[in-house]
Structure 1
Amino acid sequence: MGILEGKRILVAGVTMDSSIGFATAKVAQEQGATVLISNFGRALGITRRIAKRLPQEPPVLELDVTDADHLARLPELVRDHVDGLDGVVHSIAYGNPETLLGGKFMTGPWDDVAQAVQVSAYSLKSLAEATRPLMGAGGSIVGLTFDATIAWPAYDWMGVAKAALESTSRYLARDLGPEGIRVNLVSAGPLRTLAAKAIPGFEDLEDTWSTRAPLGWDNTDQIPTAKAVCALLSDFFPATSGEIVHVDGGFHSMGS
């Protein structure tokens, strides 16, 4: 019996089979969960195709976390397949690489910054609010971050958006805790995902990790991160909320 046996999990933001979201859906199914996944727009067709590569093909829901109508109808879409949720994974982030990343911090325009913060941080609150009615007996919300305690090369305004995400998770933990809903983040090291490939200069971070992470770091392996997400979704962390769990080979704990 897996650690998610009988759990109903929504993984929001699954695009490619190289994504952390996809790996999380795979591990969750292997651990006994019933999984639903989501995406929207042009990426929705890709998500529907790659869903077939999971151990069990899950329902694919259309969800744009910046669209109030999509959020309002989400409980109904979920209930078409399951009668509630025990866990939600926020695997969603976006920042325009042409204006916000790769050394463009001082020139990043507000409209693009606002979009990055809404999609990458505020959407955690939006998703939590939309799924709250589905978690009547409590549950677990897990998001994905990239350590926002320092300024990284090339990451620029996405670093600011991740800092907002980390703060948002703590306030959600505060406000949803009385309802038995835990909110945590997993901070992964650099992984060769579609999002990472869009960041100019991201390979410099990968090189740094390979020499400084005491456990080593495989930037093509999303499974360790997915396992941490699934552990936080499970009942093995019943009194943990507002936490950031690092899955980075130990890099975050090392000095320069």
Structure 2
Amino acid sequence: MGLLEGKNILVTGVTMRTSIAYAVVEIAQREGANVVVSAAGRAVAPATRALSKLETVPPIIELDITDPEHLAALPAKLEEHLTGGLDGIVHSIAYADPEKALGGAFLTTDWDSVGNALHISAYSLQSLTMAAKPVLNTGASVVGLTFDARVSWPAYDWMGVAKAALESTSRYLARYLGPDGIRCNLVAAGPVDTVAKKAIPGAASFNDIWAERAPLSWDSSDAVPSAKAVVALLSDWFPATTGEMVHVDGGLHSTGA
């Protein structure tokens, strides 16, 4: 029996086959989950192409997490494809304007760009979870993806601030949803060569940092280690873990200079 046998899981943020979210879908299905994928706007087409390569192609629903009408319609859309409620949510959504909010522009970024990054990358964890709350089962698990925002990183700028807000949001969701038996945790992944990473000016330098300092070494082309951690947190093997951030970064977070 697989880790997620019979569980119903919503995975957001699938773009290309290189994305962590795609690897989560692939592994979750292999572990017995029924998966529904969401994408927004122009991301629907590439997500559809990527997912078509899977042995079992999951249904895709359009969900713009900044659109209140989309959020209100989410439970009904999920019930079209899943029976028995929702057992897990994977939040893999982030965006900041690469020209205005990333790549060294921190000191000159305007509020509209900052607000947009915070809305999409951090507040969406709360809005997505609460939109799905009517169909979330007791024991459900919400898992988000972050890039450890306890420290500053070169070029990451306002996305780093947004990820810090995401990490705090996860802890507060854990506090308020715990009485309902719902867990909320994050996976802090090392740099993976995704579309999102490539959009960050100067992000290629992260690979050099990890190559030099990660005790276990790190393969930036391999999303599977991070995806396995997400699947583990979705499973029943972490029944008393919430508000946590699990590092999957080859151990770099534990080192100094």
The TM-score range, normalised by the shorter chain, is over 0.9
Summarize deviations over 1:174-231 as a string: whole Å, max 9, x none.
0000000000000000110000000111111110100100000000000000000000
Q: Say whether the 8 Å CA contact 1:10–1:88 is kept in structure 2.
A: yes
Q: Say whether the 8 Å CA contact 1:209–1:217 is kept in structure 2.
A: yes
State the shift of 1:12 in Å: 1.1
State the shift of 1:234 in Å: 0.0
Report SS of the residue matched to 1:35. strand
State the shift of 1:45 in Å: 1.5
Report SS of the residue matched to 1:153. coil
2:82 corresponds in structure 1 to: 82
Q: Which moved more, 1:180-189 or 1:45-54?
A: 45-54
Runs of 4 or more, structure 1, over 6 Å off, are: none
Paired AA for residue 63 in structure 1: L
Q: How does 1:165-244 map to 2 (within 5 A)?
A: 165-244=166-245
State the shift of 1:82 in Å: 0.7
Whole-Å separation in 1 of the counterparts to 2:182 and 2:143: 11
Whole-Å separation in 2 of the counterparts to 1:165 and 1:18: 23
TM-align CA RMSD: 0.7
Q: Say whether the 8 Å CA contact 1:30–1:55 is kept in structure 2.
A: no
Report SS of the residue matched to 2:226. helix
Q: Say whether the 8 Å CA contact 1:172–1:183 is kept in structure 2.
A: yes
State the shift of 1:151 in Å: 0.7
TM-score (normalised: structure 2)? 0.98
Paired AA for residue 65 in structure 1: I
Paired AA for residue 91 in structure 2: H
Q: Say whether the 8 Å CA contact 1:88–1:141 is kept in structure 2.
A: yes
Report SS of the residue matched to 1:202. coil
Report SS of the residue matched to 1:187. strand
Paired AA for residue 59 in structure 1: P
The percent of aligned pairs where both chains have the same amino acid is: 61
1:154 corresponds in structure 2 to: 155
Paired AA for residue 158 in structure 1: M
Q: Which moved more, 1:11-20 or 1:152-161?
A: 11-20
Whole-Å separation in 2 of the counterparts to 1:131 and 1:12: 12
Whole-Å separation in 2 of the counterparts to 1:45 and 1:76: 22
Whole-Å separation in 1 of the counterparts to 2:60 and 2:51: 8
State the shift of 1:137 in Å: 2.3
**Unaligned 5+ runs, structure 1:** none
State the shift of 1:138 in Å: 3.0
Q: Say whether the 8 Å CA contact 1:154–1:202 is kept in structure 2.
A: yes
2:28 corresponds in structure 1 to: 28
Summarize deviations over 1:125-175 as a string: whole Å, max 9, x none.
001101111113230000000000111000000000000000000000000
Paired AA for residue 223 in structure 1: V
1:14 aligns with 2:14: yes
Whole-Å separation in 1 of the counterparts to 2:191 and 2:176: 31
Report SS of the residue matched to 1:240. coil
Whole-Å separation in 2 of the counterparts to 1:19 and 1:153: 22
TM-score (normalised: structure 1)? 0.99
Report SS of the residue matched to 2:94. coil
2:71 corresponds in structure 1 to: 71
Paired AA for residue 39 in structure 2: N
1:42 aligns with 2:42: yes
Whole-Å separation in 2 of the counterparts to 1:195 and 1:4: 27
Whole-Å separation in 2 of the counterparts to 1:49 and 1:156: 32
Summarize deviations over 1:98-124 as a string: whole Å, max 9, x none.
001111000111100000000000000
Q: Say whether the 8 Å CA contact 1:29–1:55 is kept in structure 2.
A: no
Whole-Å separation in 1 of the counterparts to 2:256 and 2:205: 18
